[in-house]
């Protein structure tokens, strides 16, 4: 056990594994970055064969640092406050509603079209997941704002995906 400001904390097995995997990926990212530097020729970095491996190595390094630091921060914050335990019934509701929505989506797409089904899918999924996560009741004006925001985001995302695939990639959607 380690001490932090007079409080004890201990990482569980999952957190220890995450730190270990993060450390391995950090070493892998540093290796890729080092090897990419040896690929650099006389041309500028942006035009050499090392450019893409340097980007990939940098991304792996950054993500591995996050993967390594996150469980340490969780262990420290858990030492400062009591653990929050979610009720099993709430988790079952989330899983059940999510499964029903995921099963209904591909069944409805051929019948109602991509845009309408995707819009409805996103709106219903966001609404129920947000509602099940919230503990306190919102005022009516806050509920209306939340629903309008969910509908707006759902429309923008569905429309963007439709434009992206049909116009840019030339892939027809149902």
Q: Is the pLDDT of residue 65 over 80?
A: yes
Q: Is the pLDDT of residue 167 over 90?
A: no
Q: Looking at residue 1, what is its pLDDT?
A: 42
- Torsion on CA atoms 14, 19, 25, 27, rounded to nearest 10: -150
Question: What is the residue extent of each domain of the chain?
Answer: 2-80, 88-168
**Six-digit token string for 13:** 């097995």
Query: How far is residue 19's CA from residue 7's CA, in Å, rounded to a whole number?
Result: 21
Mean pLDDT to the nearest integer, 143-171: 90
Higher pLDDT pick, 153 / 41: 153
């Amino acid at each position: 056990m380690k001490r932090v400001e007079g409080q004890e904390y201990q990482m569980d097995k999952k957190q220890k594994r995450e730190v270990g995997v993060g450390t391995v990926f950090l070493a892998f990212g540093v290796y890729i970055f080092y090897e990419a530097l040896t690929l650099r020729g006389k041309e500028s970095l942006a035009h050499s064969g090392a450019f893409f491996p340097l980007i990939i190595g940098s991304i792996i390094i950054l993500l591995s640092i996050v993967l390594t630091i996150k469980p340490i921060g969780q262990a420290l914050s858990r030492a400062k406050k009591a653990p929050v335990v979610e009720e099993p019934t709430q988790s079952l509701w989330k899983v059940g509603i999510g499964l029903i929505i995921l099963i209904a989506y591909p069944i409805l797409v051929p019948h109602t079209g991509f845009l309408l089904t995707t819009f409805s899918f996103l709106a219903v999924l966001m609404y129920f997941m947000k509602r099940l996560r919230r503990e306190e009741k919102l005022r009516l004006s806050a509920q209306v704002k939340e629903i309008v925001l969910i509908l707006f985001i759902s429309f923008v995302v569905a429309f963007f995906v439709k434009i992206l695939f049909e116009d840019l990639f030339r892939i027809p959607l149902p």
